[in-house]
Amino acid sequence: MPTQTKGSSLGNIAIISTLVDAAMALRRGEHWAAALLLGAAALSTRVSGVGVVASVLVRLLRRFN
């Protein structure tokens, strides 16, 4: 039985989107947000949806601060 080594294309797009969010946060000087998003992108390879949750969390924290 062959194993699947590639993630779904939708999952890959979510990871790339989280990485872009992290790069934009780093550019704004929000090191905490960039670190959180990078960690979420790394974890997204194992647990789907973590990057989306982290992005929403960062946006909510920005709004209420």
Domain regions of the chain by residue span: 9-64
Backbone angles phi, psi at 47, to 5 degrees: -120, 110
Task: Answer whether residue 3 shows pLDDT above 60.
Answer: no
State how far the Cα of 29 lies from the Cα of 23, in Å rounded to an integer: 10
- Give the angle 7-39-11 at the CA atoms, nearest 5°: 20
Residue 34: per-residue pLDDT: 96
| 14 and 48 Cβ atoms separated by less than 8 Å | yes
Which of 11, 57, 64 has the alpha carbon at shortest distance from 36?
57
Helix (H/G/I), strand (E/B), else coil: 2 = coil
Give the model confidence (pLDDT) of 6-55 as tens digits: 567 878 888 999 999 999 999 999 999 999 999 999 998 888 889 889 99
